[in-house]
Structure 1
């Protein structure tokens, strides 16, 4: 049973990671700017965030893997940016739900030793 729970918690975390990229892309494409800037923000912001994730967080394969408090701060900023992007796009409820799911998943990761 614990194996199933750990798998579910890890799956939710993975989908939250993807959700941040989607939220940032949505935010970029919904800005009130010209089409070129929308494309730049809609594609560029998720690309920058994905690069940062790959450099610092990518499951043991990151060249500059963060640990401890630095990892926790990075995660809070990363997932907070996803929630904020949703809220800034007018999807305030979705942003709040996103943040709540992240916090619950974080607590479950701590309880199942997946940090």
Structure 2
């Protein structure tokens, strides 16, 4: 029996590189990343649905804004992104996306929640970027 080519295997999750309490921390951070990403889409969609437009206009804006964020994220920021770009570019895309979620929440009148969301997203992005760093450069 032959072994599968290593390039065909799925990449290991970032927590596989850690053990003990640090592994648990990285796993919880990955879960938090998912929650922050979904919240971003919900906040932008919610904001669009409150615009002073006819109902069909609000639906179109919400679908377009959320769709644009999904396309941007899937193209550049997702772990299996369509286009591989340097880490600073990935971070920039994520900052823009998370900022749109915070601005949308602010626009809904939830200023404190927007600031809390922005801080949590920034901390999560910092940890995620660190644990996914290129390990060959150590």
Larger RCO: 1 or 2 (CA < 8 Å, sep 6+): 1
* Structure 2, unaligned runs of 5 or more: 1-20, 134-138
How much has 1:107 moved relative to structure 2?
A: 3.4
Are 2:62 and 1:36 aligned? no
Of residues 59, 70, 89 in structure 2, which corresponds to 1:70?
89
Aligned residue pairs total 113
TM-aligned CA distance change 1:40 to 1:110, over 3 Å? closer
* Structure 1, unaligned runs of 5 or more: none
Give the secondary-structure state (helix, strand or coil) at the position aligned to 2:78. Answer: coil
Deviations 1:27-73 (A, max 9, x none): 100111111111111222111111111111221x2121222221121
Partners of 1:55 and 1:109 in 2: CA distance: 18
- Give the alignment's Cα RMSD to 1 decimal: 1.5
Decide whether the 8 Å contact of 1:56 with 1:64 is kept in 2.
Answer: yes
Q: Who wins on radius of gyration, i.e. which is larger?
A: 2
Are 2:102 and 1:114 aligned? no
Which 4+ residue blocks in structure 1 deviate beyond 4 angstroms? none
Are 2:53 and 1:12 aligned? no
TM-aligned CA distance change 1:107 to 1:52, over 3 Å? closer
Q: TM-score, normalised by structure 2?
A: 0.75
